[in-house]
């Protein structure tokens, strides 16, 4: 049975997660992360994808992106996969798969949800108890979005730019948003919509996506068993 095509419409942001097969390490050193980041940048430019946030953990990757053309994110991930797996297998004298099947992804509504998803991504090393401050983890976008570190990989989302009229005010307001935890009711929604390839957003937004794509983006209702 052919695989179902991914939801990847132009102009709608996506949360993407790529995991190592059986939770195996896919980044053994800084050189590996730099190689992946380089192909991420090349793939994003080649297929017209804007990168807003990322975190590279030892055995998985989180990305927040917006494709500028339909299916661009999918093509970008295929591009990265081909290049990085070849690099990793050659470097560590191994063969076979590196990633855990297909990557996970879901669409994210920008109003109310995008910055929460971005914070969720950048707080990953804190939740994993690797650091106590997201600024202490160098392989995430927090240093760019929160501290102003420049990188060619980042394109700030308009929702982020609306945090302030100047760069200094945006950085200050963004850092301030990390002083409070993400809404505990939203955390399960972020994880569930990602794992099930659904949509993170309001019911109205989900209806709009369904009309745009002709695909259901909400869990199917369970049929009641007859007595």
Is residue 3 situated within a structural domain?
no
Residue 150: which residues within 8 A CB-CB, separation 6 or more? Answer: 144
Is residue 66 situated within a structural domain?
yes
pLDDT in tens, 121-148: 999 999 999 999 999 999 999 999 999 9
The rounded mean pLDDT for the chain is 92
This model's pTM is above 0.95: no
| Number of domains the chain is built from | 1
Is residue 187 situated within a structural domain?
yes
Is residue 67 situated within a structural domain?
yes
pLDDT in tens, 51-86: 999 999 999 999 999 999 999 999 999 999 999 999
pLDDT band at 45 (very low <50, low <70, confident <90, very high): very high
Is residue 108 situated within a structural domain?
yes
Please return the burial class of 141, using the count of CB atoms within 10 Å of its CB with bins 0-12, 13-18 and 19+. buried
Question: What's the CA gap between 36 and 103, in Å, rounded?
Answer: 15
pLDDT in tens, 145-203: 999 999 999 999 999 999 999 999 999 999 999 998 888 889 999 999 999 888 999 99
Is residue 221 situated within a structural domain?
no
Residue 47's domain spans which residues?
13-212
> What CATH number is given to the structural domain containing 26?
3.30.70.1290
């Amino acid at each position: 049975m052919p695989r179902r095509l991914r939801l990847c419409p132009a102009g709608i942001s996506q949360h993407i997660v790529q995991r190592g097969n059986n939770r195996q390490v896919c980044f053994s050193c800084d050189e590996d992360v730099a190689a992946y980041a380089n192909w991420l940048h090349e793939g994003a430019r080649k297929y017209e994808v804007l990168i807003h946030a990322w975190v590279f953990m030892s055995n998985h990757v989180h990305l927040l992106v917006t494709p500028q053309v339909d299916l661009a994110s999918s093509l970008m991930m295929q591009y990265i996969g081909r290049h990085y797996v070849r690099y990793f297998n050659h470097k560590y004298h191994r063969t076979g798969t590196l990633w855990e099947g297909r990557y996970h992804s879901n669409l994210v509504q920008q109003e109310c949800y995008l910055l929460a998803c971005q914070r969720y991504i950048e707080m990953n090393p804190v939740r994993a108890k690797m650091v106590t401050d997201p600024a202490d983890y160098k392989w995430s976008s927090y240093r760019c979005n929160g501290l102003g570190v420049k990188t060619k990989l980042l394109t700030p989302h308009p929702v982020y730019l609306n945090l302030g009229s100047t760069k200094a005010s945006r950085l200050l307001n963004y850092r301030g948003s990390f002083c409070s935890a993400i809404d505990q009711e939203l955390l399960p929604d972020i994880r569930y919509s990602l794992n099930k390839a659904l949509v993170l957003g309001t019911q109205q937004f989900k209806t709009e996506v369904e009309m745009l794509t002709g695909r259901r983006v909400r869990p199917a209702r369970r049929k009641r068993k007859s007595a």
